[in-house]
Structure 1
């Protein structure tokens, strides 16, 4: 299942689901049937069966939330530092153009914080902090169509 904020549930939503599991645990203690509990709590019977198994093996404590599935690799303070570096632009960090790519941000994180993470992890990190990908709305006025055509004809076939 995919979640709106790009990974995992919010803390509020985790607490809400934990309360539902605890309520199911109380009902397990009263001996209620799985189908009745599932219908009343508006969850699948399979989930209730899984919770019942955990409750039998570990009691009510086994129904507690395990927390977020994966903690971010960068702390909020480190991300604030990363944002400052991103604001300086790619040229300051040695790239010729002014485009931040996931690979470049990944390299910056590796250099600045000595952390190795995947491009997907970089995307999730940026998304979690409200960043999104950007695409130009129109072509640049300075674009030289003749030069682009020559490049496509001469250079592009050699790159393949």
Structure 2
């Protein structure tokens, strides 16, 4: 939670967090920590929902970009993956498309 607290301090705004059902994400302690932060909106994914997880789109895009590469070893592959992820980081249009593909929005429901 300290990472989210630090992000909130730096961004100075609400955070929308999309989480799967990892046991630590759904624990009673985590629910209490979430409830104590009115600036944090958590969207929980169903048990198995890769189509709703924007991260799946990131990995799919990355795998397509390295599919036909010949690498010299694990270190070379790691360097290429880091480079490609860094490129994605600076393409907000691409990042937006990953979220758009899920049909989710960053705006919490106002109900």
Q: TM-score, normalized by length of structure 2? A: 0.32
Q: TM-score, normalized by length of structure 1? A: 0.24
Higher strand share: 2
- Report the structure number with the largest CA radius of gyration: 1
Higher helix share: 1
Which structure exhibits the higher relative contact order, with contacts defined as CA atoms closer than 8 Å and separated by 6 or more residues?
2
